[in-house]
Amino acid sequence: WSAINRGETVITPPRSDLWGNWVTVLVPIKDLENELVIAVFGVDYSASEWYAELWKQMILDIVIAIFVLLLHLSLIHILIQHLLLKSQNKKLAIDEALFRSIFNQAPIGIAVMEGEAHADLPDFGYTTINPTYAKILGREEDDLKNMTWVEITHPDDLAADLEKYDQFKKGEINGYSMEKRYLRPDGSSVWVHMVIAPLDLSDDKRHHICLIQDITERK
């Protein structure tokens, strides 16, 4: 009667009888001239087959919903990672600026060495010789990169320096310090207090750091 009175299709909840569990679909049939319901077409479906068919129809929707959910979760994860990377990049930039300031303005000479040579590390994107180091030695940074510390060490101090460096290179000592003289381009010498320490740059080459302080006036 509901289908007849309202003129709408009715789908009943599952109901059981002697022959099984059924879902009934009642479709009103209307007169084409006056739209009055003149009959109802009824079909009984097995409830299990009905719900199985519904699940089949819903599989694609479920897959799409899961995909959209995963997409949203991925976007949220990417956004979180982006924010974390942005924060870390800002911190690294501050650390880099602080390191650059200290390196360039330090009152002692600092140089990264690769064996006996002054290291050239273009992949790291920064200079390996600070202004004070070049000033103490009276040489330009580019010139120093083409020279070894052996070449600019005073001959009278070279043997003692090489002896300690050999022990350092073999791992017998973790570093050393000494007073020595460097030769300047004009032939004069400058006394320095030098400290040698290992430096790990996470590559296959063996680097160390050289710190020097001008003590000529004191000497």
How confident is the model at residue 203, as a pLDDT?
A: 61
Query: Tens digit of pLDDT for each residue in 123-152?
Result: 655 678 999 999 999 999 889 989 999 999
Query: Taking all residues of the chain, what is their mean pLDDT, rounded to a whole number?
Result: 90
Query: Would you say residue 20 has pLDDT above 70?
Result: yes
How confident is the model at residue 164, as a pLDDT?
A: 96
Percent of the chain with pLDDT over 90: 62
Query: Tens digit of pLDDT for each residue in 175-199?
Result: 999 999 999 999 999 999 999 999 8
Confidence of residue 28 (pLDDT cuts 50, 70, 90): very high
Cα first-last separation, the chain:
117
How confident is the model at residue 124, as a pLDDT?
A: 58
User: CA 167 → CA 91, 134, 164, 175, distances in Å?
Assistant: 39, 27, 5, 9
The answer to whether 163 and 150 are in contact (CB under 8 A) is: no
Ranges of H-type helices in the chain = 2-6, 47-105, 131-137, 141-145, 149-152, 155-170
**Reduced to 3 states, what is the DSSP secondary structure of residue 155?**
helix
Over residues 46-63, the mean pLDDT reads: 88
Query: Tens digit of pLDDT for each residue in 64-82?
Result: 999 999 999 999 999 999 9
